[in-house]
Amino acid sequence: MDLDDLKLEGATLACLDLSTGGPVSGLTLRNCEFGELVVPDNLTVTRVTVTDSVIHRLSGCASMNGLPAWIQRVEVAEFDAYATSAQILDRDELPMPVRVAMTILRKLYLQRGHGRKENALYRGIGQVGQRWVGDVLAIMSTEGLAIRAKKGANEAVWHSVAGMTGRVVALLDAPRGSNDPLAVACRQMQA
């Protein structure tokens, strides 16, 4: 939707959801107050800026580090909660393969321990999510985010990759807006 370079200054909006209704372009919001701002995939936003504003709840980002470039100089009271696997899996606005990828990344990079048995990566995801685990792990391996090793005769163990924590944290901070190849591939997997 092209908003023909619409500019709003000093507006108060209860909720602005830019993630629905198709690509958005031509919108400038300055000195505004948002009850909730829902951030879409970066690929669906062009010529949009939100600056010098107050956002009470920002959906689609987990921290200031996850803000897309078109959001600048804002105060955010509350971000999406991605602190636990359950919170990640409850985010219905994210495609299931993205939720599965975030959950696996969290298990490999942010939880204690050195590696995870492959069967542990299926736990807690539910039947719908389990369908995507194998494909997500394959993409993570291709993208250099996970290494598969054997433990014993038959048991696979997955490990994080040294030096990739920064990339993983960036993915977890903004899963919907990330242009990281893993996030893009997982969004495209949605059937």
Residues 72 and 124 both lie in one domain: no
Residues 66 and 91 both lie in one domain: no
Determine the pLDDT at residue 81: 61
Out of 79, 107, 125, pick the residue that ends a domain: 79
With beta carbons less than 8 A apart as the criterion, state whether 28 and 5 touch.
Answer: yes
Residues 109 and 65 both lie in one domain: no
With beta carbons less than 8 A apart as the criterion, state whether 157 and 115 touch.
Answer: yes
Can you give the residue range of the structural domain that contains 6? 2-79
Residues 65 and 93 both lie in one domain: no
Determine how many CB atoms are found less than 10 A away from the CB of residue 191. Answer: 8
Residues 179 and 94 both lie in one domain: yes
Residues 45 and 99 both lie in one domain: no
* Per-residue pLDDT tens listing for the chain (191 residues): 777 888 999 999 999 888 777 778 898 999 999 999 988 756 567 888 999 999 998 887 777 877 888 999 999 888 776 656 667 777 777 889 998 998 999 888 877 777 898 999 998 888 889 999 999 999 999 999 999 998 767 788 999 998 898 888 888 877 777 889 999 999 888 65
CA distance 173 to 165: 12
pLDDT tens digits along 138-164: 999 999 999 999 876 778 899 999 889
Residues 62 and 89 both lie in one domain: no
Out of 79, 100, 115, pick the residue that ends a domain: 79
Residues 53 and 93 both lie in one domain: no
CA distance 128 to 28: 39
Out of 56, 79, 102, pick the residue that ends a domain: 79
The total number of residues shown for the chain amounts to 191
The enclosing domain of 100 has a CATH number of 1.10.10
> Who contacts 188 (Cβ-Cβ below 8 Å, separation ≥6)?
none
The count of domains in the chain is 2
Residues 70 and 119 both lie in one domain: no
Residues 45 and 137 both lie in one domain: no
Residues 59 and 95 both lie in one domain: no
Residues 70 and 124 both lie in one domain: no
β-pairing verdict for 45-51 and 24-30: parallel
CA distance 3 to 74: 22
